[in-house]
Structure 1
Amino acid sequence: MASRAIWKGQLRLSLVSIPIEIHSARNSGSRVSFRQIHGPSGEPVRYQKTVQGVGPVENDDILKGYETDDGEYILLEPDEIDAIRLETKKTLELVQFVDTNEIAPIWFDRPYYVVPTDELAEDAYRVVRDALRKSGKAGLGQLTMRGKEYLCALRPCGDGILLETLHYEQDIRDADPLFSSIEDAASDDELLEVATQLIEKKSAPFDAGAFEDHYAAALRDLIDAEMKSKKTPRARAGDTDGAEAGNVVDLMDALKKSLKQGKQGSGRSRKKAS
């Protein structure tokens, strides 16, 4: 399946702008995933957006609310949020450069591939890639995607450029309260020597392919075995029309319950009035 860009814009270095696309570097389809199934009926569990006392609601009626210290919500229309104009929505400018080993692993969030959008952009793209490689630096900048502005680090990756989103300072918890109880004393020299020798003995170039997700492999083996067994409970996946019909039934049931509650409430009001 062809990769689809999740962000398109300009990579800017001083006065040079390079049209680029950003693609996720993570392969989400490699994991074993499950659907929640209602055991008695064998139907997939679906979720509805509901409001207490109202029932199911339409997506068009949902606003974003910011809860204040007073327990109130400041309501914002989608258009008001979209109207916030940030240059980082379309431009990723490299504003600072640091040694690649200067960024501790705790700051890294998600990896992405940066690629030029066309052949005309490749020359400038290669210059930036090679300059980063020669200098041993990572370029820092910010970009906005999916409703959030990210801090990013760019560095060479094979023939291309890797972008890694970074956590902001306020996103990382202070480790001192957790580590403060660990005694800061020197280790026993003999034990330290043995541990160091063990590390050296097991040292090798990093190769992710040498490691296997044993849990995922065991899950696949279990699923394969259960597929071959006639005793395994099964539920038939419904088609799209069936799913829509199920949603209609769910909605009708919720509306009937709301109507019934409304009648009961009005009945109690009439009794009090009389």
Structure 2
Amino acid sequence: MAPRANWKGFLKVGELSCAVALYTAASQSERIAFHTLNRKTGNRVHRQFVDGETGKPVERDDQVKGYEVAQGEYVTFEPDEVASVVPESDKTLAIEQFIACHDIDDVYFDRPYYLAPSDPVAAHAFNLVRDAMKKKQVAALARTVLFRRVRTVLIRAHDTGLIATTLNFDYEVRSSDEAFEGLPKRKIAGEMLDLARHIIDTKRGEFDPVKFDDRYESALAEMVKAKLAGKPLPKPKAVKSTKVVDLMEALRQSAAGGKAAKKPAAAKKPASAKKATPQRKAS
């Protein structure tokens, strides 16, 4: 079955345009989901909005949006007032500029989508844009209305199509200054840095998403299977506690593959060696 498009419109570069569609690239729909049930009847329960003070249910027609201006004080907005500020969409993904692929910090990345031509006629122009971007090794910044908001989208060549990643707004990305405040700026050198480099070299590899399993999801699946089969629920494995050791010792053990590293033996002094006697300075 062909995937359902999240959005359809036109990719526009200058005077060139082609019909395109966005498809979800990352989804959580395959995760195991539980419904909340009434323990007594086994029926599903549904959420209901209730008044915070009286506890009585509030019907949909009696619900309005409110912005809190002070503790317990709100300015209210009717649904049509909120709808009036939703931007109108012309269904155009207009490319505003091309940038180097590494120019944007990935902390701004929001959600990825596959971008593909939505009809055979558009394929030629679409392929032209994709191949030109590959040749120049650039990404594109475009803007359009997606899901009731004007969004900035980063477009990159990907296999035979394009990846369109919505970007977080600047006000949504928090500064790292507070998180990194107080971190020492001293440089690490000597054996400690050499050991760290060695560990990185021995663990160097390539990203393979198949190797990174969701252990919580797997445990839920095993629990569901056991329930359906009427078997005892699997017991969680005990987590091994780690001993706190000094940084240098931890690096040595890591470099040795988890085994205690042998410290180099101290050089023996010759039998005839005598302790040097400090000489007095001439007065």
SS in 1 for 2:35: coil
Normalising to structure 2: TM-score of the pair?
0.73
1:157 is matched with 158
> Which segment drifts farther, 206-215 or 36-45?
36-45
> In the alignment, does 2:69 pair up with 1:76?
no
Q: Secondary structure at the match of 2:179?
A: helix
CA distance in 2, matches of 1:21, 1:62: 35
Gap regions ≥5 residues in structure 2: 234-283
Q: Which residue of 2 aligns with 1:245?
A: none
With over 3 angstroms needed to count, the CA separation of the structure-2 counterparts of 1:217 and 1:100, relative to structure 1, is same
* Contact 1:21–1:117, Cα closer than 8 Å, also in 2: yes
Question: TM-score, normalising length from structure 1?
Answer: 0.75
Q: Is the 8 A contact 2:142 2:154 kept in 1?
A: yes
User: Structure 1: any 5+ residue segments left out of the alignment?
Assistant: 233-274
Give me the whole-angstrom Cα distance separating, in 1, the residues matched to 2:163 and 2:89: 18
- 2:64 touches 2:76 (CA, 8 Å); kept in 1? no
CA contact (8 A) 1:89 1:145 kept: no
Please state how far the C-alpha of 1:54 moved relative to its aligned partner.
8.5
Matches within 5 A, 1:233-244: none
SS class of match (1:50): coil
Return closer, same or farther for 1:175/1:219 CA change in 2, 3 Å cut-off.
Answer: same
Q: Residues of 2 paired with 1:88 and 1:54: CA distance?
A: 40
Judging by fraction of residues, say which structure has more helix: 1
Paired with 1:72 and 1:89, the residues of 2 have a C-alpha distance of 34
Aligned residue number for residue 104 of structure 1:
105
Question: In 2, are the aligned partners of 1:20 and 1:114 still within 8 Å (CA)?
Answer: yes
Q: Distance in 1 between matches of 2:11 and 2:61?
A: 35
* Match of residue 201 from structure 1: 202
Query: Paired residue for 2:137?
Result: 136
Q: Which residue of 2 aligns with 1:175?
A: 176
Write out aligned runs for 1:204-215 (5 A). Answer: 204-215=205-216
Structure 1 Cα separation of the partners of residues 55 and 224 of structure 2: 41
Report the CA distance between 1:31 and its aligned residue: 1.1
- Work out the CA distance in 1 between the residues paired with 2:83 and 2:90: 11
Tell me how far apart the structure 1 counterparts of residues 190 and 144 of structure 2 sit (CA, whole Å). Answer: 49
Partner residue of 1:270? none
Cα separation, partners in 2 of 1:147 and 1:85, compared to 1, 3 Å: closer
Residue identity (%)? 30
Query: How big is the alpha-carbon RMSD for the aligned residues of Structure 1 and Structure 2?
Result: 2.4
